[in-house]
Amino acid sequence: MQAIQPITAHNLRDLRAVCGNCSMRELCLPVGLDQQEIATLDSLISSRRRLQRGEALYRTGDVFTSLYAVRRGFLKTYVLHEDGREQVTGFQMTGEILGMDAISTDRHACDALALEDTEVCEVPFDALERLSGTIPTLQRHFHKTLSREIVRDQGLMLLLGSMRAEERLAAFLLNLSQRLSDRGYSRSEFHLRMTREDIGSYLGMKLETVSRTLSRFQDEGLLAVQGKAIQLLDLERLRTLTSCR
Amino acid sequence: MQAIQPITAHNLRDLRAVCGNCSMRELCLPVGLDQQEIATLDSLISSRRRLQRGEALYRTGDVFTSLYAVRRGFLKTYVLHEDGREQVTGFQMTGEILGMDAISTDRHACDALALEDTEVCEVPFDALERLSGTIPTLQRHFHKTLSREIVRDQGLMLLLGSMRAEERLAAFLLNLSQRLSDRGYSRSEFHLRMTREDIGSYLGMKLETVSRTLSRFQDEGLLAVQGKAIQLLDLERLRTLTSCR
DNA sequence: CGGAGAGTTGAGAAACCTCAAAGCAGGTGG
DNA sequence: CCACCTGCTTTGAGGTTTCTCAACTCTCCG
């Protein structure tokens, strides 16, 4: 078993190969830092935390102190409606950032749960803010990270507001595929870490509809599905599904 | 006809009475600034822009240079899907901020259109960023503003993903009511500035469904509606509509 | 081997959409 | 000042999608 290295701004360069064009790199590896700045960054993000599958990273109402960058693993974030309904707001994989919604109120606005064994780096927000005041490049990258989250949410609003079940699911699978391939994994074969219910909640449909739509996609030769194992067989046709109507 | 005063950090205090607990105050009136800081802020936000009803503030793909704070008027933002479908992502009124989605790519990710004659203050983003690097309170407030936008979007995702037409419309009306009353207007009587189609797009339903649902609310004595004029007659029952099921 | 959680499939119901027609309001030009 | 036009809104009827409820299967663990 391999020893886990502490995360530093230095060895984050290695992560880069794994995460590709991800928020982690954007946040932690702004270009043009000098040695001292990198050292300061190192001290900022040296703290880690491990989660077992099913364990919460934080819960709604918890006091906000830190952002988290996923080092490995997979999480979901969700908000609870008063009557118990659950809306999944996102799935996070290696290199992505959690907790940005908490800045506004100093308390977390959603729950974050590990869907498999997961390791995150903790980024104390006070320190990040102080540091970004002195390193303009870091500040810029942090702002872009926040803004990217806004754009992501708006994309999801478009999906929820104006697509039908088939289009939503196709868009979802293609998005997963893209993010996995960015990280060096296969773009066409992967394991879903979440349940049909999680997918349904994220996409605004019932788990039965998710299941039926997957079966239909399979019948039409778009993909092969067995439980959580997915193989995308016709990326091109999936793509046309998301844009035509 | 009254002369329009230039917006300054000083006279923004007046706006405060009008906007209440709004983003403008959060962004532009952080507590604890000294005279010099206020003067610097003044220079930052002194530029204004007027829009006629129907005019665009910016369009998707435009180069991003500035955020905008609404001084008076009403706008909608929307993203266009490839096939021409339009998803309204928000309605902005006095004191609210537009353009934060553009930070991530340096280009605007949506269109912003004035729904009535409107005046905005332009906040050059480079200057804001520089300044927020030197005034921690401003930085903090700016981050909160960005984060609040993320939370807002997630609330809308919950609405789109897990509510039915009736609940969505009730939530929408109550949200408008709240924001208007924050600004000193009546919480129960107001004019809708947008069309049924805009509302439908925002809430993920067709304009006919919006119209029918409004009519049903009227039959049930929840509100009175005539065209764009709305009178909320039973706020309490509207509220229960949004949380029960 | 048994249980529990997860997934699939079917049938009927409900919500919402589509298409169509008609009414209304506000602005424009004669 | 009125008639008209245009865009917005309302309402109806019928169709489609998605949901609900229910039964059954599968898979993974203990």
Residues of chain A with pLDDT under 50: 1-27, 29-31, 245
Contact A162 B201 (CB under 8 A): yes
- When comparing pLDDT for B27 and A77, which is higher? A77
pLDDT value for B22: 35
Q: How far apart are CA A176 and CA A190, in angstroms?
A: 9
The protein footprint on chain C, as nucleotides within 7 A of a CB, is 6-11, 15-20, 24-26
Average pLDDT over residues B92-118: 96
Q: What percent of chain B has pLDDT over 70?
A: 81
Q: What is the mean pLDDT of chain A?
A: 85
pLDDT value for B34: 63
pLDDT value for A174: 97
Contacts A–B by Cβ distance under 8 A:
143
Contact B85 A202 (CB under 8 A): no
Q: What is the mean pLDDT of chain B?
A: 85
pLDDT value for B208: 98
3-state secondary structure of B121: strand
pLDDT value for B63: 98
Kindly list the domain boundaries of chain B, sorted by start residue: 9-157, 164-243
3-state secondary structure of A121: strand
Q: Residues B43-61: pLDDT tens digits?
A: 676 688 999 999 999 999 9
Among all chains, which residue has been given the structure tokens 């606005």?
A109
- Could you say which of A154, A162, A204 has the minimum Cβ distance to residue B110? A154
Contact A162 B101 (CB under 8 A): no
pLDDT above 70 for B8 = no
- When comparing pLDDT for A63 and B84, which is higher? A63
Rounded, the Å distance between the CA of A223 and C1' of D28 is 24
- Check: CATH 3.30.70.2190 for B164-243? no
Q: Residues B123-173: pLDDT tens digits?
A: 999 999 999 999 898 899 899 999 999 999 999 999 999 999 999 999 999
pLDDT value for B47: 84
CA distance readout (Å), A212 to A215, A216, B77, B136, B149: 5, 6, 35, 52, 35
DSSP string, A143-212: HHHHHHHHHHHHHHHHHHHH--HHHHHHHHHHHHHHHHHHTTS-SSEEE--S-HHHHHHHHTS-HHHHHH
Please report how many Cα atoms fall inside a 13 Å half-sphere around the Cα of residue B43, on the Cβ side: 8
Contact B134 A132 (CB under 8 A): no
The nucleotide minimizing the C1' distance to residue A163's CA is: D17
pLDDT value for B86: 87
Q: How far apart are CA A36 and CA A34, in angstroms?
A: 6
**DSSP state at residue B101:** G
Q: How far apart are CA B164 and CA B114, in angstroms?
A: 29
- When comparing pLDDT for A136 and B14, which is higher? A136
- When comparing pLDDT for A207 and B5, which is higher? A207
Q: Which of residues 116-155 of A touch B (CB under 8 A)?
A: 129-130, 132-134, 136, 139-140, 143-151, 153-155
B228, B233, B223, B231: which is closest to B192 by C-alpha?
B228
Contact A89 B154 (CB under 8 A): yes
Contact B151 A204 (CB under 8 A): no
Tell me the CA end-to-end span of chain B in Å, nearest whole number. Answer: 51
pLDDT above 70 for B3 = no
Q: Are A94 and A18 in contact (CB under 8 A)?
A: yes
Q: Does A21 touch chain B (CB under 8 A)?
A: no
Q: Are A183 and B222 in contact (CB under 8 A)?
A: no
Q: Which of residues 92-111 of A touch B (CB under 8 A)?
A: 100-105, 109-110
pLDDT value for B26: 42
- When comparing pLDDT for B79 and B38, which is higher? B79
Residues of chain B found within 8 Å of residue A133, distances taken between Cβ atoms: 132-134, 136, 139
Confidence at B35, pLDDT banded by 50, 70, 90: low
pLDDT value for B243: 75
pLDDT value for A84: 76
Q: Which CATH superfamily is domain A9-157 in?
A: Jelly Rolls (2.60.120.10)
- Residue B72: phi and psi, rounded to 5, are -155, 155
Average pLDDT over residues B71-88: 89
Q: Do A9-157 and A164-243 come out as alike in CATH topology? A: no
Q: Are B200 and B209 in contact (CB under 8 A)?
A: yes
3-state secondary structure of A232: strand
- Could you say which of A85, A101, A150 has the minimum Cβ distance to residue B100? A150
Confidence at B242, pLDDT banded by 50, 70, 90: confident
Q: What percent of chain B has pLDDT over 90?
A: 72
